[in-house]
Structure formats: structure tokens, C-alpha cells
């Protein structure tokens, strides 16, 4: 869980680099590294542990959600992001309370990173009356209006257009808040993707486009999605920087994201970040994902972002086995409490279906 302290220090760090002007649009490439990073940019132990805690929290929440779905504790479907946590945590961890997230269907945990109470997140899965949308959206389609997480639709890439609109509105307000929009590789094929990024480029909007390229759009492989090797190449067409990073390395994503967020905050416009990553499980819990080879899945599981980060933190003497166990125990207790809350919450009354059609 991101504490207020390390959020503040992160935003101070961003504010400190205000003067770093970015000149012409460029496309950078950061080749995915094979091992851990040699340096971590001198990040404080508090920040590193904050990132670690949040990674673990997202992983444990997501795995718990999968178990609950299998136990028929909730119906519908669930779109697990296990394996991709570093993209979400790295991109959203440094956001301020007044910043926005435009999530997609696999970004349930974006709410958790932004600070939404866990009990509401699990109530969302359970479609209970205590969920932020009072049981309206499908389980993983969660938003949290008090912290500016937009409740997503299922139409792919739409959240990217609405997020772009929010960025447009924020710029017009002359505020320094920013938007982070999450989407997958499949969304980049959608016509609305082009309209949104083009508009953001024209107006240099304060938005960071975070593409979680997990190689598969449901069952469609990347080679049938695009002729590009690096999706960040698309940014060039819109006149702003694009960068491809190892999406399973939380500090690589964090570094790219904080740079992009700072750019956005100071009025230098959008950035496209391609996070190369992988989802461990099927598109959803009812998808056995037989279209992928076991070897491919195994190879990516070995790139699990959590042990990689643990290794780094242990080497830096920030994390001990004892602390690791303590963190896991704390989060597990918090999750159990949240699940109990969701379990005990009532379902909405049937006639509540007619509420909130109109605003007054």
C-alpha cells in the first residue's frame, strides 16, 4: 500500500525535475533486460518498500479473487492481471490523489494502487450494495470516483478516449493533475485509439498512455494485431515520445512513468509507454488459454516481477525474509477482513436497478 509519505516524496521528486525540458518528439527504446537492474536511481528504502508492498498486495488480491470466483463466491467473470502487476504499480504508484486513472477490464487493482479501500474492491467483485457502483458493473469493471478512477466500460479502448477527454478538461482548468490510461495491445488496433492519441498530441494533453502489451488480445496473437515489433513506435505518428520498457521490472516502469507524469504535469504533453509483459492466466477465468504453449507460459513465469524485485531489495538490504513474511501476513489479514465485509454486505434491492439513470 502506498503511504501518504512516500506518495508525497514521489511527487516532490517529480516537482524537482520540472526543469528537464523535453525537446522534439522522440521514440526511445529500452531493451528488456535479462537480469535485475544494476542501479535503482537512488530511490529511498521507503519508496522501494512501498512499491514492493503494493506489488504484493495486487498479487495477493488478484489470486484471492481467482479463488473466490472458483468457490462461486461471485459470478460473472474475472480478468486476472497476475503477472502484469509491475505495469500497474510502476505506472500508478506515484500518482497524487487529484490525478486520474482510466482503467480497462484487467485493471481492477488500479483502484487498489490509487488507494481505494480493499473492502469496497471485494464488494465490487461480489456485486454487493456496498460496492462503489452498487452492483452495476461486471466484477472487474471497477472505478472509484472519490479517487478519480473512472468506472470502465467493456468497449475496448473507450477508456482511453474518455481519459483523453479528462486530460483535455484538466488542461483547460490549468491544473497540474494528470491522467494515466491503461490498455492492452489489442486496444491499439481500435480506431478510437488513433483519434484519442492524435487529439492528445495536438493539444499536448497531460496524459500517460500505458500499454500493457501481454502478447495476446484474448486469443489473438500480437502478430495478427500489428505489423510493429515495438508498439511505442506508434507514438511517433502523434508527435510525442514513446518508450518500450520491461513491464515485469517495476523500477523500469516506475522510472519511465514518473518521467512521463512529470512531463505531463509541467505541460509538455503525453507519453506512450509500452510495457512488455504477460498475463499468467487466460483472458478470463473461463478461458483455459489453450492457444498458448506451456513453454511460453513457463518462460514468462520465470520473469515474475515479484521475486525479481525481492532479489534486488534483498541485495540492497531493504528487505529481509522476516519483513517479507510480515508484509505478506499484514496484507493477507487485510484481504480476509475485506472479503468478510463483502461477504456480509447485502445485495442491492431489485428495484435499485432503476436508480441513477438520470442525474438531477
Partner 1 sequence: MARTLAFIEAINEALHQEMERDERVFVLGEDIGLSGGVFKATAGLYEKFGEDRVLDTPLAEGIIVAASVGASLVGWRPVPEIQFTDFVTDAIDAIIQQASKLHYRSAGGYTCPITVRICCGGGVGGGLYHSQENAAWFVHEPGLKVVMPSTPYDAKGLLLAAIRDPNPVLFFEHKKLYRTAKGEVPEDDYTVPIGPAAVRREGRDITVLVYGYMTHVALEAAEVMSKRGVEAEVVETRTLAPLDKQTILDSVRKTNKCLIVHEDKRTMGIGAELSAIVSEEAFEYLDGPIVRVTGPDIPAIPFSPPLEKFFLVNTEKVVAAMEKLAAY
User: Shortest gap between Cβ of 61 and partner 1 (angstroms)?
Assistant: 21
Active site annotation includes 12: no
Active site annotation includes 281: no
Work out the number of other CB atoms within 10 angstroms of the CB of residue 118: 22
Of these, 63, 133, 230, 287, which contacts partner 1 (CB under 8 A)? 133
What secondary structure does DSSP assign to 247-299, as a single string? TT-HHHHHHHHHHHHHHHHTT---EEEEEE---SS-SSTT---TTS-HHHHHH
User: Shortest gap between Cβ of 236 and partner 1 (angstroms)?
Assistant: 17
Of these, 150, 215, 231, 256, which contacts partner 1 (CB under 8 A)? 150
User: Shortest gap between Cβ of 199 and partner 1 (angstroms)?
Assistant: 5
Largest pairwise CA distance in the chain: 58
Of these, 83, 90, 139, 163, which contacts partner 1 (CB under 8 A)? 163
User: Shortest gap between Cβ of 182 and partner 1 (angstroms)?
Assistant: 15
Residue 56 or 162 having the CB closest to partner 1? 162
Question: What are the helix (H) ranges across the chain?
Answer: 4-16, 45-70, 85-92, 108-114, 118-125, 158-172, 191-203, 250-265, 294-301, 305-315, 321-344
Active site annotation includes 279: yes
Of these, 17, 41, 97, 155, which contacts partner 1 (CB under 8 A)? 155
Interacting span for partner 1 (CB under 8 A) from 193-201, 278-286, 302-310, 338-346: 193-201
What secondary structure does DSSP assign to 85-138, as a single string? HHHHHHHHTT--TT-EEE--TT-HHHHHHHT--HHHHHHHHTT-TTSTTTT-S-
Distance (Å, whole) CA 275 – CA 247: 4
Distance (Å, whole) CA 132 – CA 151: 9
Interacting span for partner 1 (CB under 8 A) from 86-94, 132-140, 235-243, 268-276: 132-140
What would the grid cell of residue 50 be? 512501498
User: Shortest gap between Cβ of 134 and partner 1 (angstroms)?
Assistant: 4
Interacting span for partner 1 (CB under 8 A) from 28-36, 151-159, 210-218, 241-249: 151-159
Q: Which of 27, 20, 10 is nearest to 97 (CA)?
A: 10
User: Shortest gap between Cβ of 119 and partner 1 (angstroms)?
Assistant: 16
- Residue count, binding to partner 1 (CB under 8 A): 40
Interacting span for partner 1 (CB under 8 A) from 50-58, 147-155, 212-220, 233-241: 147-155
The reply on whether position 360 binds partner 1 by CB under 8 A is yes
Q: Which chain residues interact with partner 1 by CB under 8 A?
A: 132-134, 136-137, 141, 143-146, 150-151, 153, 155, 158, 161-170, 172-173, 191-192, 195-196, 198-199, 202, 355-360
Amino acid at each position: 500500500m502506498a503511504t501518504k509519505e512516500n506518495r508525497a516524496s514521489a511527487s516532490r521528486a517529480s516537482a524537482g525535475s520540472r526543469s528537464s525540458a523535453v525537446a522534439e518528439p522522440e521514440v526511445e527504446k529500452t531493451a528488456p533486460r535479462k537480469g535485475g537492474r544494476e542501479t535503482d536511481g537512488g530511490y529511498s528504502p521507503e519508496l522501494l518498500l512501498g512499491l514492493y508492498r503494493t506489488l504484493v498486495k495486487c498479487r495477493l488480491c488478484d489470486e484471492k479473487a481467482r479463488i473466490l470466483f472458483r468457490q462461486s463466491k461471485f459470478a460473472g467473470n474475472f480478468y486476472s492481471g497476475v503477472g502484469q502487476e509491475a505495469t500497474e504499480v510502476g505506472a500508478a504508484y506515484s500518482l497524487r490523489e487529484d490525478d486520474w486513472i482510466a482503467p480497462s477490464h484487467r485493471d481492477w487493482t488500479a483502484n487498489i494502487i490509487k488507494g481505494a479501500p480493499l473492502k469496497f474492491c471485494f464488494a465490487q467483485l461480489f456485486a454487493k450494495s456496498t460496492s462503489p457502483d452498487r452492483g452495476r458493473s461486471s466484477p472487474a469493471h471497477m472505478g472509484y470516483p472519490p479517487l478519480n478512477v473512472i468506472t470502465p466500460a467493456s468497449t475496448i479502448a473507450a477508456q482511453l478516449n474518455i481519459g483523453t477527454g479528462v486530460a483535455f478538461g484538466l488542461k483547460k482548468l490549468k491544473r497540474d493533475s494528470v491522467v494515466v490510461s491503461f490498455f492492452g495491445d489489442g486496444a491499439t488496433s481500435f480506431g478510437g485509439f488513433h483519434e484519442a492519441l492524435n487529439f492528445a498530441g495536438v493539444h499536448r494533453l497531460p496524459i500517460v498512455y500505458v500499454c500493457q502489451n501481454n502478447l495476446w488480445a484474448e486469443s489473438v496473437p500480437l502478430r495478427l494485431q500489428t505489423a510493429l515489433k515495438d508498439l511505442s513506435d506508434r507514438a511517433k505518428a502523434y508527435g510525442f515520445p514513446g518508450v518500450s520498457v520491461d513491464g515485469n521490472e517495476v523500477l523500469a516502469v516506475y522510472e519511465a512513468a514518473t518521467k512521463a507524469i512529470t512531463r505531463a504535469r509541467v505541460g509538455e504533453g503525453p507519453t506512450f509507454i509500452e510495457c512488455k509483459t504477460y498475463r499468467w492466466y487466460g483472458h478470463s477465468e473461463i478461458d483455459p488459454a489453450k492457444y498458448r504453449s506451456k513453454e511460453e507460459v513457463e518462460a514468462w513465469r520465470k520473469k515474475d516481477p515479484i521475486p525479481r524485485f525481492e532479489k534486488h531489495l534483498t541485495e540492497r538490504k531493504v528487505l529481509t525474509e522476516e519483513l517479507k513474511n510480515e508484509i505478506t501476513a499484514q496484507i493477507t489479514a487485510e484481504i480476509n477482513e475485506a472479503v468478510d465485509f463483502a461477504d456480509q454486505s447485502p445485495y442491492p434491492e431489485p428495484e435499485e436497478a432503476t436508480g441513477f439513470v438520470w442525474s438531477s
